């Protein structure tokens, strides 16, 4: 505690235009550091503390404006928005410039009427919330999530699959490990390779190894093809989602996403085309008069709603949730 007090003295007294007293910021930051077991050297401390204060101000301002989205302090609260985007977002694509992809085998376009609400978690088709850490590997978690779901629905057995295999082995398909990738490219790799190893046999390391350790003896699931959701169609996304969890790419670049805590997520500045994060749609529902998609993230269970976010549904493809979405076929 004495070390913390000394560091606070080094970074100086309160700056102008702050919403709270310097003592309040210090108390909040100290409690946050203790709770998350965070420690910094003297050179990093000032940057983390200033980012935390900025985020605390942003959270207070946002929550006082009556949004359906509630923000809160989480494990990303010591990062500036630029740092957050560089460390956690691993899909870099302008969906408006991409041609609609065709799967090797197309699903029947005639779907049964969609359910009024849906949650694949209750059917055992969704695994635990994982944590990608400070690595832009979100695309690999989105891919394993949809394949895990398709495999469980087809076989009745759930197997947690290897993100690390996708990071290490799918570079020839355009993916770049911690530097980003695309779910469709990862699915093409899985089809060509003949399957994905289990997570247990090929565990995640939060780093790039550049050495593929795929072992056919440890395959946990296979897919034969995949199909893309019709670009921009939330109706088609709902139809595909009634078949199983769907890999989706979204615009998650905003501080409101970084610091999301609860509620239906609606960000006025969200783009439907500039997509930067791969996640997993696992269902949909309604809160009051607001429809939402149930979306699984890969930032651990302490982010958002125990690792999930409710994203605004039927709001003109908000944040691009149906701009680049795909479902695997076993």
Spatial separation of the C-alpha atoms in residues 34 and 128, rounded to whole Å:
26
Cα distances (Å, whole numbers) of residue 123 to 16, 25, 245, 283: 53, 44, 11, 11
Q: Which residues of 173-210 are buried (b: 16+ CB within 10 A; e: fewer)?
A: bebbbbebbbbbbbbbbbbebebbbbbebbebeeebee
In what helix (H) or strand (E) does residue 248 lie, and over which residues does it extend? strand 246-250
Token look-up 């490219």 returns 185
How many helices (H) and strands (E) would you count in the chain? 9, 13
Burial category of 23 from C-beta neighbours within 10 Å (exposed 0-12, middle 13-18, buried 19 and up): exposed
Catalytic residue among 74, 81, 138, 319: 138
What is the rounded distance in angstroms from the CA atom of residue 281 to the CA atom of residue 114? 15
CA neighbor of 246 nearest in space, from 329, 180, 134, 122: 329
Q: How far apart are the C-alpha atoms of 192 and 190, rounded to whole Å?
A: 5
Is 24 among the residues known to form the active site?
Answer: no
Distance CA 231, CA 98 (A): 10
- DSSP state, 229? P
| DSSP symbol at 106 | P
Residue 147 burial (C-beta neighbours within 10 Å; 0-12, 13-18, 19+): buried
Catalytic residue among 74, 175, 291, 297: 297
CA dihedral 19, 24, 29, 32 (to 10 degrees): -110
84-118 in b/e form (b: 16+ CB < 10 A) is bbebbbbbbbebeebeebebeeeeeeeeeeeeeeb
Q: Of 81, 254, 277, 291, which is the active-site residue?
A: 277
- 31 in catalytic set: no
Residue 179 annotated to the active site: no
Q: Just list the catalytic residues.
A: 138, 277, 297
């Amino acid at each position: 505690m004495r070390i913390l007090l000394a560091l606070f003295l080094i970074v100086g007294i309160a700056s102008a235009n702050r919403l709270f007293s310097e003592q309040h910021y210090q108390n909040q930051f100290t409690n946050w550091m203790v709770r998350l077991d965070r420690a910094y050297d003297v050179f990093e401390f000032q940057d983390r503390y200033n980012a935390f204060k900025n985020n605390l101000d942003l959270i207070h301002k946002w929550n006082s404006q009556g949004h359906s989205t509630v923000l809160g302090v989480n494990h990303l609260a010591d990062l500036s928005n630029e740092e957050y985007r560089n460390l956690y977002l691993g899909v870099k694509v302008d969906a408006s410039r991409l041609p609609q992809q065709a799967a090797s085998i197309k699903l029947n376009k005639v779907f049964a009427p969609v359910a009024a609400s849906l949650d694949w978690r209750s059917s055992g088709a969704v695994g635990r919330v994982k944590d990608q850490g400070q690595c832009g590997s979100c695309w690999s978690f989105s891919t394993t999530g949809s394949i895990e779901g398709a495999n469980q629905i087809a076989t009745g057995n759930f197997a947690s699959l290897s993100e690390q295999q996708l990071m290490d082995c799918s570079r020839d398909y355009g993916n770049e490990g911690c530097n980003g990738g695309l779910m469709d490219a990862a699915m093409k790799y899985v089809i060509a390779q003949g399957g994905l190893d289990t997570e247990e046999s090929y565990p995640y390391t939060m780093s790039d190894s550049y050495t593929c350790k795929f072992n056919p003896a440890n395959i946990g699931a296979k897919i034969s093809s995949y199909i893309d959701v019709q670009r921009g169609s939330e109706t088609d996304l709902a139809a595909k989602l009634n078949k199983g969890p769907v890999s989706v790419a979204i615009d998650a670049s905003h501080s409101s996403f970084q610091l999301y805590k609860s509620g239906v997520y609606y960000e006025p500045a969200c783009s439907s085309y500039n997509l930067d994060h791969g996640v997993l749609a696992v269902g949909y529902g309604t809160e009051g008069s607001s429809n939402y998609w149930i979306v699984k993230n890969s930032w651990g269970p302490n982010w958002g709603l125990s690792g999930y976010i409710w994203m605004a549904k039927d709001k003109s493809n908000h944040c691009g949730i149906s701009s680049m979405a795909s479902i695997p076929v076993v």
